Amino acid sequence: MRGSPKVTIYTVADRAGVSISTVSLAINAPHRVSEQTRERVIAAAGALGYRTTSERRPVAGMRIAVAAPFTTYQTYLRRFAGMLLRARDTAIELAAHDLPSAASAKAPLLDALPARGGIDGLIVMGVPLGSAALRASRDAALPLVLVDVRRARPVGEDPPVVLLDDEAGGRLAGEHLRARGHHHVAYLGEPLLSRDYVAAGQLRMRGLSDHVRITPIVCELDADPTARLREVLSGSDAPTAIMANHDELAARAWHGLRAEGFSVPGDVAILGFDDGPLAQALDLTTVRQPFEESGRLALEMLIDAIAQPSRSIQRMELAPSLIVRTST
């Protein structure tokens, strides 16, 4: 009995109705082809079981792709550092792929990564996966772990995930601010373009609202929130405190308000989220995330998913902690 014919790039091109160069671009440079063409090629590759190489290395020598908006949010570098520490004494190779922020653009690379050869597992942080990317990873039988990604609508069985209890973080902030006499708080966040994604900021606001009244303020990525904050803080029923979705945004708000003559915490208290070097330098009250721990756990979950798929852990939720400094 003859075996099945080998699936090649030519087979995929014929199935998708494109040239072999288009197949290559869709997999290796996905931003250079249209979304419709990319989805057709990836769907064809998945249906045929095609990958540029189908060889799987043992766990000790495997190669893991890690995709995240590294250059937009430095906190993902801290998570990646946790993975590097976990992999340091092994032969595991980690390959980083930078993605656009979830607040700014789609990430076509995510659709294409599962079809690339030489990848034994994939970790995606901070960016929602569309149905095409999830389908591609399943078709390629590529183990996948998510970090800081909550899907609004499950597509089949969602992959393993490592999360922070963001709602608990919001409650910690709300309890602290209310205890300090703040009953009306401005929540400073960024826009979210994807409807497939439950933003951490939404959950933090929900937890915060258990204890205080909130005025949401949306600030464009990398924009200066000073003008909007000045408008809100000058009203007759002005918030007496600001909570920002992350420490960098809190720092921008603090800098702008100080230039406007506001004192912190005299006129307005400011609280951030993350607790990195910036928060420590500013003496900023913030909610701490265990970044390195989340990265380490994600890599361990992926290793388990590769070694024992039926017994792997599907969800880990880590607890935040409040770090009180002089800004409140």
Residue 277 pLDDT level (bands cut at 50, 70, 90): very high
Region 261-284 average pLDDT: 96
Q: Is residue 250's pLDDT more than 80?
A: yes
pLDDT in tens, 143-157: 899 999 887 665 556
pTM of structure: 0.79
Nearest CA to 99 out of 76, 73, 67 is that of 67
| Distance linking the first and last C-alpha atoms of the chain | 75
Return all residues near 29 (Cβ < 8 A) that are at least 6 apart. Answer: none
Record the tokens describing residue 216, joined without a space. 């949401």
Region 243-269 average pLDDT: 95
Q: What is the mean pLDDT of the chain?
A: 85
Give the dihedral of Cα atoms 135, 141, 143, 145; nearest 10 deg. Answer: 10
Q: Is residue 83's pLDDT more than 60?
A: yes
Q: What is the pLDDT of residue 52?
A: 62
For tokens 């020598």, name the residue. 61
E-assigned strand segments in the chain: 63-68, 93-98, 121-125, 144-147, 161-164, 184-189, 213-218, 241-244, 269-274, 285-288, 315-318, 321-323
* Main-chain phi, psi angles of 309, to 5 degrees: -55, -35
Handedness of CA 114, 119, 121, 122 (dihedral sign): negative
Residue 20 pLDDT level (bands cut at 50, 70, 90): confident
Q: Is residue 37's pLDDT more than 70?
A: yes
Higher pLDDT among residues 199 and 242, named by residue: 242
pLDDT in tens, 193-226: 666 678 899 999 999 999 999 999 998 877 889 9
**Under a CB-based contact definition with an 8 Å cutoff, are residues 66 and 123 in contact?**
yes
Higher pLDDT among residues 72 and 155, named by residue: 72
Q: Which alpha helices (DSSP H) does 226-274 contain, by range?
A: 226-233, 247-259
In the chain, what percentage of residues exceed pLDDT 70? 87
**Under a CB-based contact definition with an 8 Å cutoff, are residues 97 and 64 in contact?**
no
pLDDT in tens, 295-304: 998 998 898 8
Q: What is the pLDDT of residue 101?
A: 75
Region 170-188 average pLDDT: 98
Give the dihedral of Cα atoms 63, 65, 71, 77; nearest 10 deg. Answer: -60
**Under a CB-based contact definition with an 8 Å cutoff, are residues 240 and 268 in contact?**
yes
What is the identity of the amino acid at 191?
A: P
Instruction: Return d(Cα 301, Cα 312) in angstroms, integer.
Output: 7
pLDDT in tens, 226-235: 999 999 998 8
Q: Is residue 1's pLDDT more than 50?
A: no
Record the tokens describing residue 199, joined without a space. 């933003």
Return all residues near 65 (Cβ < 8 A) that are at least 6 apart. Answer: 95, 97, 113, 116, 119, 121, 122, 123
* Main-chain phi, psi angles of 120, to 5 degrees: -100, -15
* 187 CB-contact burial (10 Å; exposed 0-12 / middle 13-18 / buried 19+): buried
Reply yes or no: is the peptide bond before residue 265 cis, omega within 30 of 0: yes
Q: Is residue 55's pLDDT more than 60?
A: no
Beta strand 93-98 with 241-244: parallel, antiparallel or unpaired? Answer: unpaired
